[in-house]
Amino acid sequence: MKKNKESIKIVAIKQSFLKFDVRSMIKNPVMFVVEIGLFLSFLLTVNPNLFGAELASGRGLNALVSLILFITILFANYAEALAEGRGKAQASSLRQTKKDMIARRVLADGNIEEVSAQDLKRGDIVSVQAGEVIPNDGEVLEGVATVDESAITGESAPVVKEAGGDFSSVTGGTFVTSDKLIIRIEADPGSSFLDKMISMVEGASRKKTPNEIALSTLLVSLTIIFVVVVVSLHPISGSLGIKIPISILIALTVCLIPTTIGGLLSAIGIAGMDRVTRFNVIAMSGKAVEACGDVDVMMLDKTGTITYGNRLANEFFPVKGVAYEHLVTSAVKASLLDLTPEGKSIVNLAKDKGIEVLQDGVDASKFIEFTAQTRMSGMEMDGTLIQKGASDAVKKYVGHLGGVIPVDTDAIVESISKLGGTPLVVCEGNVILGVIYLKDTIKEGLIERFERLRAMGIKTIMCTGDNPLTAATIAQEAGVDGFIAECKPEDKINEIKKEQALGKVVAMTGDGTNDAPALAQADVGIAMNSGTIAAKEAANMVDLDSDPTKILDVVEIGKQLLMTRGALTTFSIANDVAKYFAVLPALFIIAIPQMNQLNIMNLQTPSSAIISALIFNAIIIPLLIPVAMKGVKYRPDSSNSILKRNLLVYGLGGVITPFILIKLIDMVVAPLLSILGI
């Protein structure tokens, strides 16, 4: 980690010099003016009389001004390069992830070779077994298997995929849960999700947000005003008999224009993108991060976002004539070697109910794996076959063995289905014992997070295709403010548009193809990494951990970005005002002795005053880089309170800091300038 940080800093230093390119500097008008000043002062160092003898100054002063301006730009470039460097490091990490992905490609002679997933191309044949992820979009050529496609359909139950027909298409990133498939890759190289993620991370040339555009306009306006002020000083000083060299006017211009925030503005935005990256969230632009700070409404897809993609055991329902403990014990026996989330949840639920089945004899037992053909799994213990599976599959199996279907089986199955759950029927030989209720389970930590979002004034709305009863149950358990049941893609878009028409900023989280239109319509679209390519392309953020509890973190980072920019802007403007009153009295004190009363810092000479202010102007940028990169501490508060705090802390600090530091620098610089004869 330490080595990685050092390498980022080394790269940032190299980039700091490359960013002196005019094509790069012109994107930042404030620092571009500083670079023009550097160019002019350098020419004056070579030829002091370039603009006439009366505006000339010694080479030593010109060279000193050039050096300080060079350092000022270098520090500003370093701040931006350092912020960009962290994003580049994340891109390198993603490339390594892509490089490490292995696919099993089938050769023409039938043999299998392991290759990097990034080497797969359209037409390649790959073999994917249970427990493996499908490496890219493709078509099933051979085999029948169940595939977890919850990221696409929003349904947590795995679906059967087989060659031919309507169920032969598979999507990269989906998970094979049983059996084996032979797949022909249908995606071209470079169009995978990771390729898009890498390009997103490396997109450091982000779009400016409306707030940032407004701030840039303010900075440009202040720059123009101060340039006009400095230019007007020449005729004014001439009428007073004061000679102000061009190099001093250049230095004065740089001191007075808002170089502090101008040098840090880009770094603040990029650092906002970097901060969400640390939470394993990739943002396509600083605009998306900043928009999070203004979110009023958060819409969330249910399956895979609020609930787990896998349904977990919630209750056991025995049929008439069967003891509750008998059903639970048999269900656990059928699940002891079932390593799927559903199987493990059955064992855990039984323990929670106080029923624990000893695993004696498990080693001698035969585990019956789930297959797409039987749609059942279980265990053969002591000559008895205990299985669990889909209702119709178990009833068909029991009927084939001559068993009788209990009269209340269908009623239990139907009641579970109406609640939006998945019924698993348990049988022992040809006897049906009861039904296991699998249901969507709320992800940990969501309830508390939704409460915090509510405290921040953000309304949460859950979107689900479930019936109103199921939707209401999940919404109450999750603690969301509202829900839309039996929700279709167009319903999500209409709800987002309705909120936006009221002037609200809307964020949408989702993971499925059916979420893509809503993700594109929302002001902030956050796609889960477990979702489809369509969802990720439509969103402007991707959560690599597929953890919706991080929504709050992203919102807080957005608010922190706005607060950081406001705080540093306040400091910068106050800083410039303080420098204005600190430097000008020292310039005119010779011709206008009365201005000595305004020279409260008692700066020794006009040259030392300008050089000291110029040095302060350069060093304040690197001193504020940690604030720009880390951001000011976020506190949920009203806009008025935040403004008052900024004025008190950063405004007052921006006024006081220059007076103290410029005086200290002057005490060191003045004697040195005297020795050098400047």
- CATH label of the domain that carries residue 486: 3.40.50.1000
Claim to verify: residue 562 and residue 668 sit in the same structural domain = yes
Q: What is the pLDDT of residue 127?
A: 92
Q: What is the pLDDT of residue 153?
A: 43
Give the side-chain half-sphere CA count within 13 A for 216: 15
- The binding site comprises 338, 342, 370-377, 388, 511, 515
Lowest pLDDT segment from 214-223, 234-243, 258-267, 295-304: 234-243
Claim to verify: residue 463 and residue 357 sit in the same structural domain = no
User: Domain ends where: 440, 471, 492?
Assistant: 440
* Position 147 in a domain: no
User: CA 351, 356, 362, 367: dihedral to nearest 10 degrees?
Assistant: -40
Report which of residues 233 and 385 the model is more confident about: 385
Edge to edge, the sheet with strand 112-116 lists 112-116, 102-106, 125-129, 180-185, 138-142, 169-170
569, containing H or E segment: helix 551-588
Reduce the DSSP state of residue 175 to 3 states and report it: strand
456's CB contacts (< 8 A; 6+ apart) are: 555, 636
Q: What percentage of the chain carries pLDDT values higher than 70?
A: 83
Claim to verify: residue 569 and residue 657 sit in the same structural domain = yes
| Domain around 335 | 311-440
Claim to verify: residue 590 and residue 539 sit in the same structural domain = no
User: Domain ends where: 420, 440, 460?
Assistant: 440
Residue 455: which of 488, 432, 481, 478 has the closest Cα? 481
CA 68 to chain centroid, in Å, comes to 37
Whether residue 204 has pLDDT greater than 90: no
Residue 669: which of 612, 593, 590, 595 has the closest Cα? 612
Whether residue 360 has pLDDT greater than 70: no
Residue with tokens 């009428």: 239
Residue 21 appears among annotated catalytic residues: no
Tokens encoding 167: 């169920």
What average pLDDT score do residues 336-357 get? 86
Residues 66, 69, 71, CA angle at the centre, nearest 5°?
A: 110
* Position 189 in a domain: no
Q: What is the pLDDT of residue 395?
A: 93
Claim to verify: residue 521 and residue 535 sit in the same structural domain = yes
- CATH label of the domain that carries residue 423: 3.40.1110.10
Indicate left, alpha or beta for 190 from its phi (over 0: left) and psi (-120 to 50: alpha): left
Reduce the DSSP state of residue 431 to 3 states and report it: strand
Claim to verify: residue 218 and residue 78 sit in the same structural domain = yes
Per DSSP, 649 falls in state I
CA 150 to chain centroid, in Å, comes to 22
Claim to verify: residue 529 and residue 568 sit in the same structural domain = no
134 band by pLDDT with thresholds 50, 70 and 90: confident
* Position 153 in a domain: no
* Position 667 in a domain: yes
Q: What is the pLDDT of residue 280?
A: 76
Q: What is the pLDDT of residue 550?
A: 74
The catalytic position among 148, 301, 466, 666 is 301
* Position 669 in a domain: yes
Q: Are 666 and 590 in contact (CB under 8 A)?
A: no
Claim to verify: residue 536 and residue 561 sit in the same structural domain = no
Give the side-chain half-sphere CA count within 13 A for 470: 23
Lowest pLDDT segment from 440-449, 467-476, 591-600: 591-600
Whether residue 206 has pLDDT greater than 50: no
* Position 247 in a domain: yes
Whether residue 225 has pLDDT greater than 70: yes
Highest mean pLDDT among 24-33, 412-421, 498-507, 536-545: 498-507
- The binding site for Mg(2+) comprises 511, 515
Q: What is the pLDDT of residue 285?
A: 65
Burial of 242 (0-12, 13-18, 19+ CB in 10 A): middle
266-307 pLDDT tens trace: 777 777 777 777 777 877 766 777 778 788 898 887 766 677
618-638 pLDDT tens trace: 888 888 888 887 877 777 666
Report which of residues 428 and 674 the model is more confident about: 428
Looking at residue 599, its amino acid is: N
Claim to verify: residue 396 and residue 418 sit in the same structural domain = yes
Residue 143: which of 183, 187, 102, 185 has the closest Cα? 183
Report which of residues 112 and 586 the model is more confident about: 112
20 band by pLDDT with thresholds 50, 70 and 90: confident
Q: What is the pLDDT of residue 189?
A: 66
User: Domain ends where: 440, 471, 505?
Assistant: 440
Claim to verify: residue 266 and residue 356 sit in the same structural domain = no
424 band by pLDDT with thresholds 50, 70 and 90: very high
Q: Tell me the average pLDDT of the chain.
A: 79
What average pLDDT score do residues 117-124 get? 82
200 band by pLDDT with thresholds 50, 70 and 90: very low
Highest mean pLDDT among 134-138, 243-247, 390-394: 390-394
485-507 pLDDT tens trace: 877 778 888 888 898 888 888 88
Number of separate domains in the chain: 3
Report which of residues 253 and 587 the model is more confident about: 253
* Position 116 in a domain: no
* Position 562 in a domain: yes
Whether residue 151 has pLDDT greater than 50: no
Whether residue 202 has pLDDT greater than 70: no
Claim to verify: residue 430 and residue 452 sit in the same structural domain = no
543 band by pLDDT with thresholds 50, 70 and 90: confident
Q: What is the pLDDT of residue 318?
A: 94
What average pLDDT score do residues 629-649 get? 75
Claim to verify: residue 77 and residue 219 sit in the same structural domain = yes
